[in-house]
Amino acid sequence: MNIVLLEPEIPANTGNIGRTCVATGTRLHLIEPMGFRLTEKEIKRAGLDYWKDLDVTVYDNYQDFLDKNPGAKIYMATTKAQKTYTHVEYEPDCYIMFGKESAGIPEELLLANKENTIRIPMVGDIRSLNLGNSVAIVLYEALRQNNFEGMKLEGKLHHHSWDEA
């Protein structure tokens, strides 16, 4: 799986998303301009000690991203979409794009990709969910559809056995 952040603005969100990507074996793609530098302490604090393990690529702009990922199947998450994120079938190598916190993905890009726009349902007129939460919701649905391939599906207790219960 691939998560794409188009012009992210808040370092703590990107750090949190980076940690989610490490935990799920997902690649992170960051498209400039960003509202921060990757060396900022806030991004490392949110990503904790996982940031060094992140598979991340930075692109100069959206066209650079397209040029370096030809033929990529891109789903665009937006509050403006006509269908929900559960109404598509995610391919194991697809890209799920999220826009910047203050404005989302530009409408021109949404119109050019209208068949692949998705939304998370919400009540009322709330503008949007937190970016990190949105990424986690959609990413885990995509991973679920692909049977959590390559992921650890069972946990274990440190001091007891599940058979004791």
Instruction: Over range 38-64, report the average pLDDT.
Output: 80
Instruction: Over range 135-139, report the average pLDDT.
Output: 98
Per-residue confidence (pLDDT) for residue 108, from 0 to 100:
97
pLDDT > 80? residue 136:
yes
- Annotated binding residue 150: no
Per-residue confidence (pLDDT) for residue 45, from 0 to 100:
65
pLDDT > 60? residue 125:
yes
pLDDT > 70? residue 46:
no
Per-residue confidence (pLDDT) for residue 36, from 0 to 100:
82
Per-residue confidence (pLDDT) for residue 27, from 0 to 100:
98
- Annotated binding residue 155: no
Q: Residues 155, 144, 50, 70: is their CA dihedral positive or negative?
A: positive
**pLDDT averaged over the chain?**
92
Q: What is the pLDDT of residues 75-124, one digit of tens each?
A: 999 999 999 999 999 999 999 999 999 999 999 999 999 999 999 999 98
- Annotated binding residue 134: no
pLDDT > 60? residue 22:
yes
Instruction: Over range 10-34, report the average pLDDT.
Output: 94
Domains, in order of start, for the chain = 2-164 (3.40.1280.10)
